[in-house]
Amino acid sequence: MKLHGYFRSSASYRVRIALNLKGLTAEHLAYHLRKGEQRDPAYLALNPQGLVPTLQDADAILTQSLAIIEWLEETFPEPPLLPQDALRRAKVRAFALAIACDVHPVQNLKVLARLRQLGIAEEQVTEWAAWANREGLAACETLIAGEAGPFCFGAVPTIADLCLVPQLANARRFSVDLQAFPRLLRAEQAAKAIKAFADAAPERQPDAE
């Protein structure tokens, strides 16, 4: 396998965690997003969106982090990252999608760069990103408030935790006060105690700066 990504990309971070949890090895190929390397024609031939990550496995080319993780789950089912119960699976997916579809996209590099192009002051750009994180994480806190834990949805990590941990890292970059989200922090603490999560951290990647 080859994983095309970037050390600071939270979407790439999710897939790194999944690969580690599944005990899978992938060659990591880095694209510096701030330098625009993801717009190279050779990479666009793999991923027309010019986004990371992209996972290659033989002739298969997979894009979008949650689609990649779902493929890994179906192809390498142990250990499972989704509950057996259909309702529980839906709840886990809803939490993951709340982050991956509603929080992460509106505060990522591409959107923030566009705000700057429109002449919005840097202070306002940063506040936009912080606001997006605060609003989304507040909803996520409520979604799992009644879950015993220690992870988002029970005693083992799920796709929800794979999305949460990178998003909390993003929030810290924008100086979001996370003390308002004790249940999310509890799940993060449990996840970071696992080697698969720790080894996937941005600062541990070969292209880290």
Q: What does the domain layout of the chain look like in residue ranges? A: 2-79, 86-196
Strand partners of residue 154:
151
Q: What angle do CA 133, 88, 167 make, to 5 degrees?
A: 20
CATH T-level assignment (fold) for domain 2-79: Glutaredoxin (3.40.30)
What is the CATH number that goes with domain 86-196? 1.20.1050.10
pLDDT, position 184: 98
Instruction: Give the pLDDT score at 19.
Output: 98
pLDDT at 118: 98
Contact 168, 99 (CB under 8 A): no
| pTM: predicted TM-score of the whole model, two decimal places | 0.96
**pLDDT of amino acid 158:** 98
Q: What is the DSSP string of 76-126?
A: S-SS-SS-SSHHHHHHHHHHHHIIIIIISGGGSHHHHHHHHHTT--HHHHH
Residues 22/76, Cβ–Cβ less than 8 Å? yes
Average pLDDT over residues 156-182: 98
**Looking at residue 47, what is its pLDDT?**
98
